């Protein structure tokens, strides 16, 4: 057996040699006190910085108003050209980050964990000991994640879904409730699974007995496209700033529900279906649930784009009338959440006033922070235990 192992040693020597040599150190290194050290060996660099979610945001003022943003912090050059930065103790969370070397944004090549957010790639790490534990794979039963293709006669194409089925689905004969979970702009059917840590959240909360086992369907809300970039004949260009053509995604959602109800063991009633989404996906969730008021008993709007009346587009008109009808027919839960620094905050205030004036009851949660995945993951963890009880 030794002979065999020696061979593999030789193999490793033949692989392309990367810059990270024997003097490099771990990055990121999570310390016992939950502080984190980043390291990059760049002996010829004049300035090395790190940007990340752990940096306190600053408020900047532009012609369009005040916004929160986060600016990179300087790393310090130590021995052997290794640049370092150590944070203070961090709250348990998932944090994204990126290096800048003399102004060039680059990933930490010591950390193979990367998230794609639209066209951007970012490294990430998770601090355990709190909400972060919900985002980590644990020693609990795991659900299945499948990438399937459904037929959409409404959009005249085959399109892709990501579907989570809970632990035990394959072995049981029981039927499950379904949560339809929608992404935001520049996202796709992969976003909740990758950026949203969906499968870990589901596995962990189901194992803890905090939520009902359910199927989660993650759709692609970019109606001109079949799937995430590179995964269909639409090609490899990552579209930015995709918004559905005016009002064609919402009616096509019926194709998704039909596919799921005929291909999975679902409980096929309004009281066993939920729809929720972030940003553009919240906009879609509000509109789909009000235009098809017999479909969804539970609605979750996370930092949503709010519906605006457009008289010549059927799904965008008569919004107040449709909301009243939706609530008259019965809503188990209408949940809204937004961060106090979100650029959509005032629009959400306005939409809640409209719900109030129509006498439509909702659950409202306001967090700190802005239009971020940190907030959306947290809203989901807050929303899920309220479903199908």
Residues 162-201 that bind a copy of itself (CB under 8 A): 167, 170, 185
- 238 close to 182: Cβ distance less than 8 angstroms: no
Give me the least distance between CB of 210 and a copy of itself, in Å please: 19
**Which residue lies nearer to a copy of itself by CB, 298 or 373?**
373
d(CA 211, CA 214): 8
**Which residue lies nearer to a copy of itself by CB, 67 or 332?**
67
Give me the least distance between CB of 262 and a copy of itself, in Å please: 9
Give me the least distance between CB of 330 and a copy of itself, in Å please: 29
Q: Within positions 356 to 375, which residues make up the interface with a copy of itself, using CB under 8 A? A: 370-371
328 binds a copy of itself (CB under 8 A): no
Contact with a copy of itself (CB under 8 A): which of 178, 229, 256, 276?
229
Contact with a copy of itself (CB under 8 A): which of 305, 335, 338, 387?
305
Q: Within positions 271 to 300, which residues make up the interface with a copy of itself, using CB under 8 A? A: 279-280, 283
d(CA 193, CA 218): 8
Q: Which long-range contacts (CB under 8 A, 24 or more apart) does 221-226 make?
A: 221/182, 221/183, 221/187, 221/249, 221/277, 221/280, 221/281, 221/284, 222/188, 222/249, 223/155, 223/248, 223/249, 223/252, 225/188, 226/157, 226/158, 226/159, 226/160
d(CA 265, CA 171): 12
Tokens of 251: 């009616």
- 70 close to 60: Cβ distance less than 8 angstroms: no
d(CA 157, CA 208): 40
**Which residue lies nearer to a copy of itself by CB, 105 or 332?**
105
- What does the longest C-alpha to C-alpha distance in the chain come to? 78
Give me the least distance between CB of 357 and a copy of itself, in Å please: 20
Q: Within positions 115 to 134, which residues make up the interface with a copy of itself, using CB under 8 A? A: 116, 119-121, 125-126
The CA-atom distances, in angstroms, between 138 and each of 132, 175, 195, 201 are: 11, 25, 18, 10
Binding region for a copy of itself (CB under 8 A) out of 114-122, 214-222, 357-365, 374-382 = 114-122
d(CA 348, CA 341): 12
Binding region for a copy of itself (CB under 8 A) out of 110-118, 323-331, 350-358, 374-382 = 110-118
Give me the least distance between CB of 104 and a copy of itself, in Å please: 5
DSSP for 215-237 reads EEEE----TT-SSSTTSSTT-S-
Size of the site for a copy of itself (CB under 8 A): 95
Give me the least distance between CB of 134 and a copy of itself, in Å please: 14
79 binds a copy of itself (CB under 8 A): no
Binding region for a copy of itself (CB under 8 A) out of 98-106, 216-224, 266-274, 324-332 = 98-106
1 binds a copy of itself (CB under 8 A): yes
Q: How many residues does the chain have?
A: 389
Give me the least distance between CB of 247 and a copy of itself, in Å please: 9
Q: Within positions 51 to 70, which residues make up the interface with a copy of itself, using CB under 8 A? A: 51, 62, 64, 67-70
Q: Within positions 3 to 42, which residues make up the interface with a copy of itself, using CB under 8 A? A: 3-5, 7-8, 10-20, 40-42
H/E element, 263: helix 249-263
Contact with a copy of itself (CB under 8 A): which of 73, 154, 207, 238?
238
């Amino acid at each position: 057996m030794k002979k065999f192992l020696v061979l593999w040693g030789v193999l490793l020597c033949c692989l392309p040699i990367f810059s990270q040599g024997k003097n490099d150190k771990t990055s990121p290194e999570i310390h016992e006190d939950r502080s984190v050290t980043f390291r990059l060996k760049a002996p010829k660099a004049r300035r090395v910085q790190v940007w990340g979610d752990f940096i306190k945001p600053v408020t900047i003022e532009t012609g369009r108003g005040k916004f929160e943003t986060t600016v990179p912090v300087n790393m310090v050059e130590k021995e052997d050209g290794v640049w370092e930065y150590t944070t203070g103790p961090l709250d348990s969370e998932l944090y994204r980050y990126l290096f800048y070397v003399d102004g060039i944004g680059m990933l930490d090549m010591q950390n193979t964990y990367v998230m794609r957010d639209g066209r951007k790639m970012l490294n990430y790490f998770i601090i355990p000991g709190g909400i972060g534990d919900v985002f980590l794979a644990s020693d609990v039963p795991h659900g299945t994640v499948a990438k399937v293709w459904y037929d959409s006669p409404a959009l005249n194409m085959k399109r892709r879904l990501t579907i989570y089925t809970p632990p035990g689905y394959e072995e049981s004969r029981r039927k499950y409730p379904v949560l339809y979970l929608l992404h935001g702009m520049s996202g796709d059917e992969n976003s909740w699974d990758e950026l949203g840590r969906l499968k870990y959240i589901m596995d962990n909360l189901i194992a803890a007995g905090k939520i009902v086992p359910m199927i989660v369907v993650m759709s692609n809300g970019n109606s001109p496209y079949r799937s995430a970039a590179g995964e269909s004949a639409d090609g490899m260009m990552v579209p930015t700033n995709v918004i559905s053509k005016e009002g064609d995604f919402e009616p096509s959602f019926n194709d998704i529900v039909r596919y799921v109800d005929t291909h999975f063991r679902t409980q096929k009633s309004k009281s066993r279906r939920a729809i929720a989404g972030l940003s553009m996906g919240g906009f879609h969730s509000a509109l789909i649930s009000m235009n098809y008021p017999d479909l969804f008993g539970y609605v979750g709007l996370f930092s949503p784009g709010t519906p605006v009346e457009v008289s010549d587009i059927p799904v965008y008109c008569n919004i107040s009338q449709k909301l009243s009808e939706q609530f008259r027919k019965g809503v188990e839960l209408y949940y809204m959440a937004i961060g106090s620094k979100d650029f959509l905050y005032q629009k959400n205030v306005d939409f809640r006033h409209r719900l109030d004036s129509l006498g439509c009851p909702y659950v409202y949660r306001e967090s700190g922070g802005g239009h971020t995945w940190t907030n959306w993951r947290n809203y989901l963890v807050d929303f899920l235990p309220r479903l199908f009880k």
